[in-house]
C-alpha cells in the first residue's frame, strides 16, 4: 500500500488527516479563487462598461448557464460516483477538466475585438456555457473528494477551514487582477493576460492535488445505481432537503452583494478607487478568523455557529441601504461584519454536508458524495446566477447606462436595494428555517457507530 493510500485509510479510521494531504487538497482553491473571484465580482460590470453588452443581455446569459447546470451537475455527480479506475473515481475527472477551464476562461475574458452586437452576445453565451461545463467537471468531483477524506465530525471542519484559508492568497491575487483590469488603459488586453495567468494557476494546482491527494478505495463502486434513484435519495434525505432550501437562500443573497460591489463603489458612492480596499476588508477577516471558527464549532456546535453567522448577515446587509448617505467608511464597516458571517459559512457548511452524506449511507448503503455535491453545486450556481441575472434585468429596468458618467437616481436606489434589502431578507428567512436542523454531533456519532458496525460485517 502506498503512503498516500495509507494516509487516506488512517484518516478515515482515526479521523486525523496529515497536513500534507490537507494542503494538497486545499491548493486548487487558491488557483480557482484567483480565477473565479474576478469573474463573479466584475464580469457583469466589465461586460456592460467595456464590451458594451446590455446588462439585461448578460444577465440572461447567466440564467441560461444556470439552466444548463441543471443538466450537467447531476450527470457529473452520478458519473463521478460510478467511475472506477486505478486512479480513483474523483481524480481522473479533475485532471480532465483542468485544460478546458483554462481555454474557456480565456474565451470569456478575451472575445475577438471585431465582434459586437449579437455576434458578441453569442460568443459570450457559448463561452460561458463551455466554461461552466468544465468547472462542473472539476468542482463536483473535487468537492466529493473532500467529503470522503475523513469521517470525523470536527476533522471535517478543520479540513474545510484549511481549504478556505489556503484559498486566501488566490483570492487576493484575483483582487489584484481586478484592480489591473479596472485601471488599465487597455482593459481587454489586461483581461487576456489575467485569464491566461489565472487559468495556468488553476491547471497547475488541480494537477498537483490529483497527484498528491489519496482516495478511499473502500468507497469505489458504491455510487447510486441510477441517476434518477440517486437524486430521489438526495431529496428524501430530510437533513439534505432542509439544507438545500437554506443554502439556496444564502447563495442568492451572497450573489446579490457580490455582483453589486463595483456598482456601489462607482455609481452610488463615486469612490471606484476604493473598490479593492472594500473587497480586502471583505476577504481578509474571513481568513484571519478561520482558527476561531474551527475552535468555536467544537465548543458550540456547527448548527449554532452557522446560526450566529447568518444573524450577523442581516444587519450587515440591511445597513447597505443607507450607504449613499453614510459614505464609504460605513460600507467598509458593514462589509467587515459580513466577512465574519461568510467566513463561518465557508467553514461549517461543507462539514455539515459531509455529515448529511453519512446519514444517506445509513439509509441507502451507498456513497453518493458526487450526486450530493452536484446538487449543492447546482443550487449555489443557480442561486448566484439568478442573482446576477435578476440584478442585470433590474438595473436595465431602472435605466442603467454603461456609457453614462453619472447614473440616474432610480439606478442608484435599485443598486442599494439589490445589495442590501434583498440579501438581508433572505438571510433572516434562512436563519429561521435552519433552526429546525437536527443532525448534531450526538446524532452523527450514532450514525457513524452504525456505519462502522455495518462496514465491519461487510469487510
For residue 13, pLDDT over 60 is answered with: no
| pLDDT at residue 37 tops 80 | no
5, part of any domain: no
pLDDT digits (tens, 9 = 90+) for 182-218: 888 898 999 898 889 988 999 999 999 999 999 888 8
Q: Does the residue 416 lie in any domain?
A: yes
Q: Which CATH number characterizes residue 55's domain?
A: 1.20.1250.20
Predicted confidence (pLDDT) at residue 435 exceeds the cutoff of 90: yes
Average pLDDT over residues 302-311: 94
382 neighbors 244 (Cβ within 8 angstroms): no
Report pLDDT digits (tens) over 317-375: 888 888 767 777 777 788 888 888 888 988 999 999 999 999 999 999 999 999 998 88
Residue 221 sits at φ, ψ, to 5 deg, of 80, 10
* 220-277 pLDDT per residue, tens: 878 877 888 888 888 899 999 999 888 888 777 777 766 777 787 788 778 777 777 7
Mean pLDDT of 32-60: 84
Q: Which residues contact 88 (CB under 8 A, 6 or more apart)?
A: 215, 217, 220
Counting beta carbons within 10 angstroms of the beta carbon of residue 8, is it exposed (0 to 12), middle (13 to 18) or buried (19 or more)?
buried
Instruction: Report the pLDDT value the prediction gives residue 27, as an integer from 0 to 100.
Output: 94
- Residue at 1 is within a domain: no
Residue 281 has pLDDT above 90, yes or no: no
- Does residue 58 lie within any of the structural domains? yes
pLDDT surpassing 90 at residue 300: yes
DSSP symbols for 344-404: HHHHHHHHHHHHHHHHHHHHHS---HHHHHHHHHHHHHHHHHHHHHHHHHHHHHHT--TT-
What was the pLDDT predicted at 208? 95
Residue 8 lies in a domain: no
Q: Tell me what the pLDDT averaged over the chain comes to.
A: 85
The pLDDT value given to residue 303 = 95
* Domain span at 324: 14-458
pTM assigned to the model: 0.82
Does 94 have pLDDT greater than 80? Answer: yes
The full DSSP string for 30-68 is HHHHHHHHHHHHHHHHHHHHTS---HHHHHHHHHHHHHH
pLDDT over threshold 90, residue 433: yes
Helix then strand then coil, % of the chain, to nearest 5: 85, 0, 15
**Interatomic CA distance for residues 419 and 189, integer angstroms:** 30
Place of cell 456609457: 403
Q: What is the pLDDT of residues 95-134, one digit of tens each?
A: 999 999 999 999 999 999 889 889 999 999 999 999 999 9
Domain count, the chain: 1
Tell me 154's DSSP state. T
Nearest to residue 43, comparing CAs of 225, 147, 181, 211? 181
- 209 lies in a domain? yes
End-to-end distance of the chain based on CA atoms, in angstroms? 17
- Round to whole Å and give the CA distance between 11 and 131: 34
Contact indicator for 181, 194 with CB cutoff of 8 Å: yes
Pick from 118-127, 401-410, 425-434: least confident: 401-410
431 is a domain residue: yes
Residue 6 lies in a domain: no
Cβ distance 234 to 368 under 8 Å?
A: yes
Amino acid at each position: 500500500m502506498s503512503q498516500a493510500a495509507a494516509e487516506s485509510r488512517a484518516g478515515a479510521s482515526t479521523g486525523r488527516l496529515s497536513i500534507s494531504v490537507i494542503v494538497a487538497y486545499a491548493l486548487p482553491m487558491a488557483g480557482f479563487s484567483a480565477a473565479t473571484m474576478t469573474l463573479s465580482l466584475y464580469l457583469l460590470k466589465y461586460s456592460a462598461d467595456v464590451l458594451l453588452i446590455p446588462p439585461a443581455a448578460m444577465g440572461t446569459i447567466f440564467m441560461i448557464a444556470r439552466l444548463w447546470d441543471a443538466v450537467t451537475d447531476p450527470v457529473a455527480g452520478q458519473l463521478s460516483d460510478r467511475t472506477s479506475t486505478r486512479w480513483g473515481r474523483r481524480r481522473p475527472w479533475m485532471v480532465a477538466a483542468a485544460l478546458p477551464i483554462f481555454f474557456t476562461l480565456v474565451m470569456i475574458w478575451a472575445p475577438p475585438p471585431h465582434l459586437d452586437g449579437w455576434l458578441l452576445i453569442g460568443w459570450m453565451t457559448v463561452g460561458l456555457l463551455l466554461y461552466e461545463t468544465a468547472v462542473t467537471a472539476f468542482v463536483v468531483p473535487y468537492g466529493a473528494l473532500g467529503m470522503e477524506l475523513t469521517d470525523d465530525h470536527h476533522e471535517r471542519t478543520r479540513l474545510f477551514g484549511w481549504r478556505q484559508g489556503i484559498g486566501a492568497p488566490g483570492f487576493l491575487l484575483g483582487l489584484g487582477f481586478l484592480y489591473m483590469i479596472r485601471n488599465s488603459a487597455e482593459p481587454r488586453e489586461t483581461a487576456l493576460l489575467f485569464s491566461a495567468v489565472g487559468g495556468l494557476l488553476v491547471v497547475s494546482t488541480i494537477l498537483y492535488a490529483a497527484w498528491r491527494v489519496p482516495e478511499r478505495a473502500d468507497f469505489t463502486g458504491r455510487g447510486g445505481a441510477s441517476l434518477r434513484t440517486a437524486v430521489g435519495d438526495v431529496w428524501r434525505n430530510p437533513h439534505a432537503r432542509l439544507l438545500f432550501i437554506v443554502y439556496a437562500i444564502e447563495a442568492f443573497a451572497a450573489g446579490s452583494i457580490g455582483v453589486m460591489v463595483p456598482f456601489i463603489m462607482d455609481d452610488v458612492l463615486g469612490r471606484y478607487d476604493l473598490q479593492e480596499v472594500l473587497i480586502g476588508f471583505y476577504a481578509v477577516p474571513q481568513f484571519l478568523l478561520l482558527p476561531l471558527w474551527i475552535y468555536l464549532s467544537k465548543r458550540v456546535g456547527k448548527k449554532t455557529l452557522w446560526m450566529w453567522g447568518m444573524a450577523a448577515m442581516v444587519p450587515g446587509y440591511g445597513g447597505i441601504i443607507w450607504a449613499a448617505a453614510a459614505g464609504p467608511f460605513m460600507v467598509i464597516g458593514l462589509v467587515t461584519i459580513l466577512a465574519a458571517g461568510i467566513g463561518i459559512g465557508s467553514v461549517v457548511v461543507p462539514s455539515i454536508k459531509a455529515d448529511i452524506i453519512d446519514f444517506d449511507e445509513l439509509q441507502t448503503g451507498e456513497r453518493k458524495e458526487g450526486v450530493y455535491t452536484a446538487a449543492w453545486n447546482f443550487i449555489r450556481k443557480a442561486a448566484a446566477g439568478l442573482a446576477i441575472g435578476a440584478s442585470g434585468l433590474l438595473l436595465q429596468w431602472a435605466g442603467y447606462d454603461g456609457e453614462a458618467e453619472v447614473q440616474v437616481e432610480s439606478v442608484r436606489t435599485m443598486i442599494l436595494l439589490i445589495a442590501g434589502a434583498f440579501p438581508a431578507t433572505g438571510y433572516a428567512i434562512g436563519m429561521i428555517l435552519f433552526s429546525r436542523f437536527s443532525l448534531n454531533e450526538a446524532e452523527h456519532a450514532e450514525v457513524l457507530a452504525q456505519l462502522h458496525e455495518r462496514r465491519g460485517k461487510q469487510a
